[in-house]
Structure 1
Amino acid sequence: MEVFKWLNDQLLRMDWLAWLVGRLVEDGFGMDLAGRSGASVHFFIYDVIKIFILLAVLIFSISWVQSHFPPERTRRILGGMQGFSAKVVGALLGTITPFCSCSSIPIFIGFTSSGLPLGVTFAFLISSPLVDLASVILLASIFNWTIAIAYVLLGLVLAVIGGMLIGRAKMEAYVESFVMHNAVLDTPQEQLSSRDRLQFSCAQVSDIFGRVWVYVLIGVGIGAAIHNWIPAAWTESLLGQNNWWSVPLATLIGVPMYADIFGTLPIAEALVGKGVGLGTALAFMMAVTALSLPSLIMLKKVVKAPLLALFFGIVTFGIVLIGYLFNAYAYLFI
């Protein structure tokens, strides 16, 4: 147990990096770590470097696994499954795609146009931005493994139930016709060499870094401001765990924003540090990643208003419920 704790502290939380950044801030910049400015600079530098290191390792590893599951192979796997099991597999496949909600929509279109049931494709669309393998590690590095595992399990449950409800609603008529009749090439899977997979994984790291680095910097910057400059009493009065409205409010605040889970985690960390309920902070994070306004606008181009409203309602209700559950049982996780 002590060995596991040491590995967790050094490899995930990177205590060694926190110490090095502390020396840089105090000795190099001449700032007091106990002061607001020094603490903010330390928070920013430490979290940015830690998240980027973890992202590089995780995206490379996930992309290597993903190279074995191109869209056509995924379609063939799902095409042979029906009912509940198909929704579960669709949700699980979303966990190996480190994409934001906007990036998941083209894959959703491909799956739908190839004839996969609507419930399966929506299970994928919900889980892909909300839950991925990288989020498990990043959550564990910021909070702990119990919270990380519970978050992922509840996210998968939401994706599966959401897919089942949308599938049973029989709303295929509310998918735009160009999606249902889009041609799909059924080409055989290429036999990739190790060098091909290496190049693919490095390209994925470069591509995803290029899309998320701004959001990481903004998220960590906001987190540093919340952590050291916004009074705890003000934050707690607005989003405190004892306020019944905190979870729905955090969810609504998250919808207009757009960021990956990588950029919202530092904000969630800072909110919890200011006394905001764990469930409230996680609800905010889930709303930003799964219900961002840009992704809803993109989705409106491929599905009609009734189906979009059903999707938004199911995911919003699920996020709020998960937020309340985490707040009610926070003592089990912290």
Structure 2
Amino acid sequence: MSELTLSQRTQQLPRRHPRAFLATAALAWWGLYQSLNPVSEAIVGALPIDRASHLGGAIQFFLYDTPKVLMLLTAVVFVMGMVNSYFTPERTRALLAGRTEGAANVMAASLGIVTPFCSCSAVPLFIGFVQAGVPLGVTFSFLISAPMVNEVALALLFGMFGWRIALLYLGLGLAIAIVAGWVIGRLKMERHLEDWVRDMPKVAATSGESGLTLAERIDAGLASVREIVGRVWPYILAGIAVGAAIHGWVPENFMAAIMGRDAWWSVPLAVLIGVPMYSNAAGVIPVVQALLAKGAALGTVLAFMMSVIALSLPEMIILRKVLKVRLIATFAGVVATGILIVGLVFNAVL
């Protein structure tokens, strides 16, 4: 009975003492995070392998990066889950409905950073935006930004590479989302929506105000952790395993030769390889980390990462339900061109 009572009290802590819960959780998270490197080194040191060997380096990479990425992901998903309680799909549509292109493309791309929508929600979001009267190009700015420049990508980039790389990625991703959406809007391709989508009656967008308490927003953050982390952790493990293999066994000269800045074809090849892959920021960033450590050029690696996240084949298949082939091809071509330019420019100037 006492254990049950203790469990109930633990579950009710966020509701009864929300500020105390946040402070305690933050301190516990920071303490665990600081212990990751010494613990991983101690574990590898206790194993009957040479730490300086390929296998030793790969194991240490995996043991350190796995909890590191999961902890960073958990923290940022929890915080953004609370923030996202202010940005329901209804409120997002209301913010974008009735606005003209240009400034609306900037707003749509910016909203994509703080909203939790991914390729699996692309169709209902697209339909909702069309019904609310959001221009097609503005809708695409949001659909490009939401998966590519999301809080997970930025938090993991910051944790692994520092604020300069994270801000660089933020600026590049927003630029691609804004310009690509504006270009698609200028092409006036509404006729290439599926007929049933184009003929839907327009409905007024509502703000969807919720008036939640701090405790309820904490509950929303915890629910986001259960949903998002529970869904993406296999991709994280797979990405870190690939990154560990690259870190341990791939020669630096080999990676520099095929993804270095001296190979002009490396950026187009990276985009072509990335498009058919299916992953998200949490799964691909550990691979990016290992590629950079082995001598790959920053522009090439950013192009690869952006193409994996923003131009995934599964998202194209999902969008086929609402878009005709020509509009999908235009969307992919415009975004891919932007990614190519980003990769080539940064390889040339960095």
TM-score, with structure 2 as normaliser: 0.86
Deviation at 1:185, TM superposition (A): 8.2
Deviation at 1:105, TM superposition (A): 4.2
Deviation at 1:183, TM superposition (A): 7.5
Q: Does 1:127 align with 2:145?
A: yes
Higher mean displacement: 102-111 or 272-281 = 102-111
- Per-residue CA shift, 1:36-69, capped at 9, x if unaligned? 1111111112111011101111011111111011
Q: Say if 1:105 and 1:40 are closer, same or farther in 2 by CA, change over 3 A.
A: farther
Q: Across the two proteins, how many residue pairs are aligned to each other?
A: 319
**Which has the greater radius of gyration?**
2
Is the Cα contact below 8 Å between 2:299 and 2:346 reproduced in 1? yes
Paired position in structure 2 for 1:92? 110
Q: Say if 1:175 and 1:226 are closer, same or farther in 2 by CA, change over 3 A.
A: same
In the TM superposition, 1:156-195 aligns within 5 A as 156-180=174-198, 181=200, 188-195=208-215
Is the Cα contact below 8 Å between 2:101 and 2:135 reproduced in 1? no
Q: Say if 1:311 and 1:232 are closer, same or farther in 2 by CA, change over 3 A.
A: same
1:146 to 127, 141, 164: 164
In 2, the alpha carbon distance for the partners of 1:280 and 1:62 equals: 29
Q: Say if 1:19 and 1:286 are closer, same or farther in 2 by CA, change over 3 A.
A: same
Is the Cα contact below 8 Å between 2:99 and 2:134 reproduced in 1? no
Q: Does 1:249 align with 2:265?
A: no
Q: Say if 1:33 and 1:108 are closer, same or farther in 2 by CA, change over 3 A.
A: farther
Paired position in structure 1 for 2:38? 19
Same amino acid, percent of matched pairs: 46
In 2, the alpha carbon distance for the partners of 1:83 and 1:186 equals: 18
Deviation at 1:30, TM superposition (A): 3.5
What do you get for the CA RMSD once the two structures are aligned? 2.0
For structure 1, the 5+ residue unaligned runs are 1-9
Higher mean displacement: 224-233 or 98-107 = 98-107
- Per-residue CA shift, 1:255-282, capped at 9, x if unaligned? 1110111110011111111111111111
Q: Say if 1:320 and 1:186 are closer, same or farther in 2 by CA, change over 3 A.
A: closer
In 1, the alpha carbon distance for the partners of 2:227 and 2:204 equals: 24
Is the Cα contact below 8 Å between 1:101 and 1:290 reproduced in 2? no
For structure 2, the 5+ residue unaligned runs are 1-28
Is the Cα contact below 8 Å between 2:122 and 2:318 reproduced in 1? no
1:202 to 218, 222, 246: 222
Q: Does 1:48 align with 2:87?
A: no
Other structure's SS at 2:102 match? helix
TM-score, with structure 1 as normaliser: 0.90
Paired position in structure 2 for 1:259? 279
